[in-house]
Structure 1
């Protein structure tokens, strides 16, 4: 994602301590979810983690699922499936738009 395309929710500017306060998760839990590849904080040149509001929403969702007994491997699998679906939908929209443009301007027909 291009940094200029990010919304305020996607900007990685929040410290791990603030994330812990906002979510009620311990620092250890947050780091564990990072180890399990459930979240990906930005790390600056000194290695300091920075999170976004989107990361916080993801952490809250993870915490809710963990309370319901869902394992982290299952959460990760679900997250990957959702991401694949989003990518497929984006690709379909792109192909549909290209088809509409081709039809509108009679492109791709040997003209």
Structure 2
């Protein structure tokens, strides 16, 4: 059975609603997309669709920009967080395998 995405991760919100919820302009939102900080889905007609998780991320990005952090630095921080999460997930999987099969990675 496929795991269903959380409501926070479903890309169903239009850019206009995102603009209203965040207070950001459409130009700012598109800029963050151009800078590879946010990744909306596209409809067949080309409209952007965002999730609640995207909105939270946009708010974090806007706050950092306001504090003077450059988009490059934000992107590097995001890459590091993703890499750390991947390492942790791999460690957890290895632990589960060790527990299940009584083996240890050497």
Fold match by TM threshold 0.5: yes
The Cα RMSD (Å) is 1.4
Structure 1 counterpart of 2:64: 65
1:5 deviation in Å? 2.9
User: Normalising to structure 1: TM-score of the pair?
Assistant: 0.89
1:76 deviation in Å? 0.3
In the TM superposition, structure 1's runs of 4+ consecutive aligned residues that sit over 2 Å from their partners are: none
Equivalenced residues, count: 103
Structure 1 counterpart of 2:30: 31
Question: Gaps spanning 5+ residues in structure 2: where?
Answer: none
User: Normalising to structure 2: TM-score of the pair?
Assistant: 0.93
1:44 deviation in Å? 1.0
1:40-82 deviations in whole A, cap 9, x for unaligned? 0000111110000000000000000001000000000000100
Structure 1 counterpart of 2:43: 44
CA distance in 1, matches of 2:14, 2:101: 47
CA radius of gyration, larger in = 1
Structure 2 counterpart of 1:78: 77
